[in-house]
Structure 1
Amino acid sequence: MWPVLLAYYTGVATAAGAMIAWSGNKKVGKRKIILFHQEKPLPSCRALLQKRGGQVLKELPLVHALVARLPAKGKVIEELGLHPDIRLIEDDFEVHTVELPAARIRQEKQIVPWGVERIGAPRAWQVAAGEKVKVAVLDTGLDAGHPDLAANVRGTQNIKFPGWRAGDGNGHGTHVAGIIAALNNSFGVVGVAPRAEIYGVKIFNRQGDGYISDIVAGLDWALKNKMQVVNMSFGTSQPSQALEEAVRKCVQAGMVLVAAAGNEGRDDSVLYPARYPGVIAVSAVDKKDNLASFSSRGTEVTVTAPGVDILSTYPGGKYRTMSGTSMACPHAAGVAALILAQDRRLSGRQVARIICRTAIKLPDLSPREQGDGLVNATALAAVARFIGEMGTAGEESVG
């Protein structure tokens, strides 16, 4: 499996109005996400958990929840599940990226990677190149000093280890960022939107390990800091109510959320959060427009994009090729940045609608494999026309 998150989550049961998800593991102190009713202030919620012997680890204001370790002995979890202030208790399950070794490339004179060329980005730069569009990369961190990224990096945030710099000891996040916005200069590579503003949000450690709560906290940061596009090159086969609520609130706020469909290599296998309504779910194709063998497919796929042997930036000023829907996803995020550079008043749903309506249908792929088609940057000049057509009409749903 290429870069993708694997999750361990065993089920959900209902207990008198509050849902409780558990793993069957009786180990003391297992992490839980406890979602409270909005009218209950989080400080009071914290006191409630502490009174029951819980250790509160962090707050998740976006979904009005706390992350805590709850005693496994006795009936603490069952009793909390019956508490009128609590609406849901679920595992804060651990997730991690799984990658194949990346191929090292010595890159000097600048080239346009095949994926950037295939979606027509160079022709779009005559109209827009992502200027003043804020793109958050939720990932393993970012090499903010990479010479092919530094001028476009506007900030970083370390969710995983607060107070520490958001460096990238893994490489996945830096690679994704380069696909979106590597600089158009005389060396290395160039990204889809080479003038977009990149913000690296570290939600996974150098091994690619993190929790659902880290993803939720990353989305919270993106919303509070007015990110316009959020790239999520990860996924899990198991749902999370907390993550779904976080995604919904970001979509409602007008953000463009783009996520990898997954690397499951079979039908009906699109992962979360790509599976959630409002998210642009991206499958992967190769240089011949064939669906990548590893790519997930299903009715939730929105569009497809290049995702095989993609050359991009890597920590330490290096360049490597990687494959996965993790690489396809930032191609679509880059196109979203190009669209918003023309009109930053567009909502996330409007941007998604434009991406879908301008996508190129690939004749040998089904809708379950490509969604509306190959993401298409060359349609940028037609954005104004689509904006006029949309007018005040209702927005189409995506995802």
Structure 2
Amino acid sequence: MKINLKSKIPVIISLREDSKKIKSKITSSNGKIKWEYENIKAISCELSSLSIDYITEYPEVSFICYDYKGNLCLKNAEKLIGLSYPKLFKLTGKGIGIGIVDTGVYPHPDLTIKRNAIIFFKDLINGIEKPYDDNGHGTFISGCIAASKYTSDIEGIAPDSNIVMIKAFDASGKGFLSDVIKAIDILISNSESLNIRIINLPFEFDINVNINPLEEIIKIALSKNITVVVPSGNSGPQSFSIYCPGNIDEVITVGGVEFGGNMKNIRVCSFSGRGPTFKKTVKPDIVMLASNVKSLASDITYIPGRTSNLLNAYTVKSGTSIASAIISGAIAVILEKTPDLTPKDIKSILSLSTIGIGEDKYSQGKGLFVFDKILK
């Protein structure tokens, strides 16, 4: 950071206590406040290098970090393979709210006609009030979880669960750390009224610092009995390639596998992030299908209030985002049956409900999640 740099730098200031003094210093330094948070003591803003250096001197400031940009964990795929789930329980995730921080959600017929699965939508990028998705990632993930089999045979693993979507990523699939934290902040504040029991965070930030405000607010969510599911990321196959939030101990980190035609030919995807973390923690926790998955497409040109022109209702993609979405749906099914389970309980159950696929623990974690183990 060059002190004489004239352009403003996006940062997040974590505070030891609520401080009006710091807010006034930001504005008096010609800074621009972006977000204040309800569930953590922090402010995101833009400041000059000199002002950042100046504000670090105040005892109310705990630390300041750069407002990083994150990437979604999805890759395009060429070969079309349908996705089906074993309906071993007569359970559909009914009434369970799943918070998703993504690019938004398109009002696809498979999410809105049989019933409206999208019970809440908030746009932190453009401020549009009704659901839309100008990238497609959020719609694809929502379909993996809650598609209702209205226009095809595609059905999400928890077709009666509720999607609570916060748009914090733009049309190019990029999102600021400050917006992601605000999205989780909103989900926590609405968790009781919307019965949000799961938060799915299908992205990664290249952050490997000991303290960051994303980890702080995720731990607040966990303390509120909300299970947090994240992908291992798409930066594999080298070791130490799982970044934030996948490197947080308490979250459920899901790696991706591909099927080679039968259950005996399963392997971890080359792109799936590998552990250990820089804290030497074993990650991922488990693995799930992440390659050549068919789900819902979005009309990325659609703006609420205008006519939609969805030419292809479905698409095929790969990425560890998909694996995390499938596990989020599975957790909704489990919580419908046993709603008193804590995030720690859920993590233990998932870890025990696995089969090994012959790869090391830093690639497969405990192994491939299967419903059969829960029944047994």
- State TM-score, norm by structure 2: 0.85
Pairing of 1:114-263 with structure 2 (within 5 A): 114=83, 116-117=84-85, 120=86, 122-124=87-89, 126=90, 128-143=91-106, 145-150=107-112, 151=115, 152-185=117-150, 187-226=152-191, 227-239=196-208, 241-263=212-234
Per-residue Cα deviation, 1:244-273 (whole angstroms, up to 9, x for no partner): 111111112211111010111222211210
Matched with 2:262 is none
Matched with 1:385 is none
1:30 is the counterpart of 2:9: yes
Per-residue Cα deviation, 1:22-65 (whole angstroms, up to 9, x for no partner): 58893421111111112x34x44321322333221221232211
**How many Å apart are 1:311 and its aligned residue?**
0.5
Kindly indicate whether the alpha-carbon contact (under 8 Å) linking 1:130 and 1:193 is maintained by their aligned counterparts in 2.
Answer: yes
Within 1, Cα distance between the matches of 2:3 and 2:267?
42
Kindly indicate whether the alpha-carbon contact (under 8 Å) linking 2:74 and 2:320 is maintained by their aligned counterparts in 1.
Answer: no
Matched with 1:356 is 351
CA 1:25 to 1:330, structure 2 compared with 1: closer, same or farther past 3 Å? farther
1:51 alignment partner, one of 28, 36, 41: 28
Within 2, Cα distance between the matches of 1:161 and 1:349?
36
Matched with 2:64 is 89
CA 1:70 to 1:101, structure 2 compared with 1: closer, same or farther past 3 Å? same
Within 1, Cα distance between the matches of 2:79 and 2:351?
34
Per-residue Cα deviation, 1:273-312 (whole angstroms, up to 9, x for no partner): 0110211101111113111111111122100000000000
Matched with 1:62 is 39
Within 1, Cα distance between the matches of 2:151 and 2:296?
14
**How many Å apart are 1:221 and its aligned residue?**
1.1
1:312 is the counterpart of 2:312: no
**How many Å apart are 1:166 and its aligned residue?**
4.0
SS in 2 for 1:283: strand
Within 2, Cα distance between the matches of 1:58 and 1:283?
32
CA 1:113 to 1:101, structure 2 compared with 1: closer, same or farther past 3 Å? closer
Equivalent position amino acid for 1:87 in 2: S
- State TM-score, norm by structure 1: 0.80
1:292 alignment partner, one of 269, 282, 292: 269
SS in 2 for 1:230: strand
SS in 1 for 2:325: helix
State the 4+ residue runs in structure 1 displaced beyond 4 angstroms.
22-25, 98-105
SS in 2 for 1:149: helix
CA 1:60 to 1:166, structure 2 compared with 1: closer, same or farther past 3 Å? farther
CA 1:321 to 1:24, structure 2 compared with 1: closer, same or farther past 3 Å? farther
Within 2, Cα distance between the matches of 1:284 and 1:232?
15
Equivalent position amino acid for 2:200 in 1: N
Within 1, Cα distance between the matches of 2:123 and 2:2?
28
Mean Cα displacement is larger for which, 213-222 or 51-60? 51-60
**How many Å apart are 1:159 and its aligned residue?**
2.2
**How many Å apart are 1:374 and its aligned residue?**
1.0
Within 2, Cα distance between the matches of 1:53 and 1:183?
50
Name the count of aligned residue pairs: 343
Kindly indicate whether the alpha-carbon contact (under 8 Å) linking 2:11 and 2:64 is maintained by their aligned counterparts in 1.
Answer: yes
Per-residue Cα deviation, 1:336-373 (whole angstroms, up to 9, x for no partner): 111111122221121111111112222x2221111111
Within 2, Cα distance between the matches of 1:271 and 1:165?
32
Within 2, Cα distance between the matches of 1:301 and 1:97?
17
**How many Å apart are 1:173 and its aligned residue?**
0.7
Within 2, Cα distance between the matches of 1:76 and 1:271?
29
CA 1:99 to 1:338, structure 2 compared with 1: closer, same or farther past 3 Å? closer
Equivalent position amino acid for 2:269 in 1: A
CA 1:51 to 1:182, structure 2 compared with 1: closer, same or farther past 3 Å? same
Kindly indicate whether the alpha-carbon contact (under 8 Å) linking 2:67 and 2:176 is maintained by their aligned counterparts in 1.
Answer: yes
Equivalent position amino acid for 1:324 in 2: G
SS in 1 for 2:234: coil
**How many Å apart are 1:378 and its aligned residue?**
3.4
Kindly indicate whether the alpha-carbon contact (under 8 Å) linking 1:223 and 1:250 is maintained by their aligned counterparts in 2.
Answer: yes
**How many Å apart are 1:313 and its aligned residue?**
0.6
CA 1:233 to 1:23, structure 2 compared with 1: closer, same or farther past 3 Å? farther
Could you list the runs of 5+ residues in structure 1 that have no partner in the other structure?
A: 1-21, 106-111, 383-399
CA 1:221 to 1:177, structure 2 compared with 1: closer, same or farther past 3 Å? same
CA 1:59 to 1:335, structure 2 compared with 1: closer, same or farther past 3 Å? same
Matched with 1:387 is none
**How many Å apart are 1:381 and its aligned residue?**
3.8
Matched with 1:11 is none
